Amino acid sequence: MSTALGTLPLVEVLDRHPAVADFVKVLGLPAAPAALTLAQWLDELPDEAFFDVGMERGQMLDHLQRLVEEVRAMESSADARIDSLTLIGGHDKQGRMELVELTFRAGDIVCIVGPTGSGKSRLLGDIECLAQGDTPTGRRVLINGREPTQARRYAPDRKMVAQLSQNMNFVVDLSVREFITMHARCRMVVEPAGMAETVIACANALTGEKFAPEVSVTQLSGGQTRALMIADAALLSASPVVLIDEIENAGVDRKRALELLAGGEKIVLISTHDPLLALRGARRIVIRNGGISEVISTSERERANLQRIEQIDAMLMGIRDRLRGGLRIEEELEWPN
Amino acid sequence: MQLITVAGSPSVGKTSVILRVAELLRQSGLKVGVAKFDALSTVDDELYAQKGIPVAVGLAGSLCPDHYFVSNVEDCLAWGERQGFDLLISESAGLCNRCSPHIDGVLAICVVDALAGVHTPKKIGPMLRLADLVVITKGDIVSQVEREVFAFHVRLANPGAQALFCNGITGQGATDIVQHIRAAAPTPSLDGSRLRFSMPAAVCPYCVGETAIGETHQRGNVKKMRFADLEAAR
Ligand SMILES: Nc1nc2c(ncn2[C@@H]2O[C@H](COP(=O)(O)OP(=O)(O)OP(=O)(O)O)[C@@H](O)[C@H]2O)c(=O)[nH]1
Ligand SMILES: [Mg+2]
Ligand SMILES: [Zn+2]
């Protein structure tokens, strides 16, 4: 197979395979006359050129071939669409069996509640790694009713499960537009730039503090960052399952955020005590002492209460916006009853 | 006994990951030891000792750490045999991007750190490119997007290799590493084994203690930088 790539003219290889072109460019290998094939070009390079870039002659063609295949595999692997995720209980800290089997479907929102330190993060962790009885809780996770394949467990750039952690720092110093475009390119989106604009617009719809695409990601506020990450997870992430460790009330429209995620046919699990979120899901999982102690279905009464809580929240959001705009809040406030 | 080489730039989280992995391996009844290689100093031996993991330390001092590693790895293997280990993990800091202690037929793990920035995987040489398994640490500190982009670049840097995230502090992801380790072949001996990539070549007066600067002292294996303005003038 490697001979096939080797017999192509170098210019054609570089043109057809941007990943190879990038690799060769980063290595800084000397350019070649246009007529050479890839194999001829490699043959003519001195041994020293290979050593200097940390490769052996014999490894080069094989590496390039693997690179081409890897990119092809990434392009062709259709986004992991899943219909359901099943959680099979293990045991709590005392070894008591959990005796539950929960199935979540695309579009479901599930909340996880329980005191700090009770094991909520552990549950998210089990789902994140698609546990197969190999974590301390002994829980198992099935995808579409079956054990996930090894390939699915180990594809770090397109994991089945995306976890939006509390920490959301950026190391890259790029503008929001460049950063999201870069992500879109990694996801092999046909029009990365257009996609980036969509994600940014969507993020701006989630936050009271709008930001421009030109601003550096490191300058975003906590709320802006959250909004951007949620929009990205909904529209651009490879993962059909999204885990969220609390969406703090950092100026993010949490209701819209959830609608956005669930609307993208994702399964969303949130660890939260925010009534707006916890009552929005169809079910909530109660964790005590490291184990699932109860699964509560949201009742009609709770749904009715949720509506009122939403009204109160909208009012608070409005007040917050006015404060941000430098206004006074002096009128008699009318709370919904 | 099984040998595993773990390499990665300084402070990426090698020890943290090894400690998590060793804990799981020991829970399943295996005896694990560590050989730690470093350049000038290390406190890793204390970290391992605290967890009751036997450790041998080798400091390369004035020698190239890579050359030091190959000259000593067989002795480490013998030490491991004498101690009756099931597994010997070598931890070495890849001090330059060209370093690579990986050996044919020996499970090779490269640890990279998501904090290093998304372009770093391109810059790391054989240590990453020739590893069997790439472990990405510190994913907890960066955003989900940066994790995904970073992992994508790792895949391009070592196409076809397995890569996974492991949090060195919580141990999340360590079970997956253990699975890879348990599936790898034992290492009865290193006699006749080959490094996956040659060591840095350097034989010049500076290797053996020269400190004076100037053209007359540059003999042997010398390579000069090229400058665009001078090239153009030629
Ligand atoms: N947040 C976070 N910190 C980590 C993670 N892994 C390691 N660290 C921290 O990073 C620092 C360095 O970790 P070590 O395990 O000592 O790194 P190392 O690669 O063994 O370092 P050397 O052997 O000195 O080259 C420590 O403070 C760890 O606690 C991780 O996944 N997340
Ligand atoms: Mg260490
Ligand atoms: Zn070196």
Same domain, A182 and A145: yes
* Residue pLDDT, tens place only, A190-226: 888 999 999 999 999 988 789 999 999 989 988 888 8
Q: How large a percentage of chain A has pLDDT more than 70? A: 93
Same domain, A146 and A234: yes
Distance of CA A262 to the CA centre of its chain: 14
**Alpha-carbon distance B127 to B149, whole Å?**
20
Do A168 and B143 make contact, defined as CB atoms within 8 angstroms?
A: yes
Tell me whether residue A332 is in a domain.
Answer: no
Q: Which of residues 31-90 of A touch B (CB under 8 A)?
A: 51, 53-56, 59, 63, 66-67, 69-71, 74
Between the CA of B12 and the centroid of ligand 2 the distance, in Å, is 8
* Residue pLDDT, tens place only, A44-82: 888 878 877 778 888 888 888 988 888 888 777 655 678
Pocket around ligand 1 at a 6 A CB cut-off: B 8, 10-16, 44, 93, 137-138, 140-141, 167-169
Same domain, A50 and A161: no
Tell me whether residue A160 is in a domain.
Answer: yes
Q: For an interface test with A, which of B144, B165, B179 has the most A Cβ atoms less than 10 Å from its Cβ?
A: B144
Please give the structure tokens belonging to residue B135: 């472990």
Same domain, A240 and A265: yes
Query: Which residue spans within A202-309 are E strands per DSSP?
Result: 241-245, 267-271, 283-288, 291-297
What residue ranges of chain B have pLDDT lower than 50? none
Same domain, A265 and A247: yes
> What is residue A330's predicted lDDT score, i.e. its pLDDT?
93
Which residue has a Cα nearest atom 24 of ligand 1?
Answer: B11
**Alpha-carbon distance A236 to A197, whole Å?**
12
How far is residue B105 from each of residues A220, B5, B78, measured CA to CA in Å?
Answer: 47, 11, 18
Do A129 and B173 make contact, defined as CB atoms within 8 angstroms?
A: yes
Is the pLDDT confidence value at A158 over 70? no
Same domain, A237 and A145: yes
Tell me whether residue A307 is in a domain.
Answer: no
Tell me whether residue A206 is in a domain.
Answer: yes
* Residue pLDDT, tens place only, A119-151: 888 898 888 888 888 788 999 999 888 888 776
> What is residue B204's predicted lDDT score, i.e. its pLDDT?
63
Q: Does A158 touch chain B (CB under 8 A)?
A: yes
Query: Nearest 5°: phi and psi at B171?
Result: 85, 0
Query: Which residue spans within chain B are E strands per DSSP?
Result: 2-8, 32-38, 55-59, 87-93, 107-113, 133-137, 162-165
Which residue has a Cα nearest atom 1 of ligand 1?
Answer: B138
Is the pLDDT confidence value at A1 over 60? no
* Residue pLDDT, tens place only, B158-196: 988 888 899 999 888 888 899 889 888 888 888 878 888
Tally of domains in chain A: 2
The ipTM value here is: 0.76
CB B196 within 8 A of CB B103: yes
Do A183 and B122 make contact, defined as CB atoms within 8 angstroms?
A: no
Which residue in A69, A71, A154 is closest to B176 by CB distance? A154
Task: Chain B: give the shortest CA distance to residue A329, in Å.
Answer: 36
Structural domain containing residue A132: 84-298
Do A66 and B160 make contact, defined as CB atoms within 8 angstroms?
A: yes
Tell me whether residue A312 is in a domain.
Answer: no
CB B34 within 8 A of CB B88: yes
Size of interface A-B (CB pairs under 8 A): 124
Q: For residue A293, what is the domain's CATH number?
A: 3.40.50.300
Section A5-27 average pLDDT: 85
Which residue(s) pair with B38 in the sheet? B59
Please say whether the dihedral angle defined by the alpha carbons of residues B102, A56, A74 and B143, taken in this order, is positive or negative.
Answer: positive
Closest to A268 in 3D by CA, of A108, A131, A79:
A108
Residue range B2-182 in CATH 3.40.50.300: yes
Q: What number of other Cβ atoms are within 10 A of residue A311's Cβ?
A: 13
Tell me whether residue A113 is in a domain.
Answer: yes
> What three-state secondary structure class fits A296?
strand
Ligand nearest to the CA of B68: 3
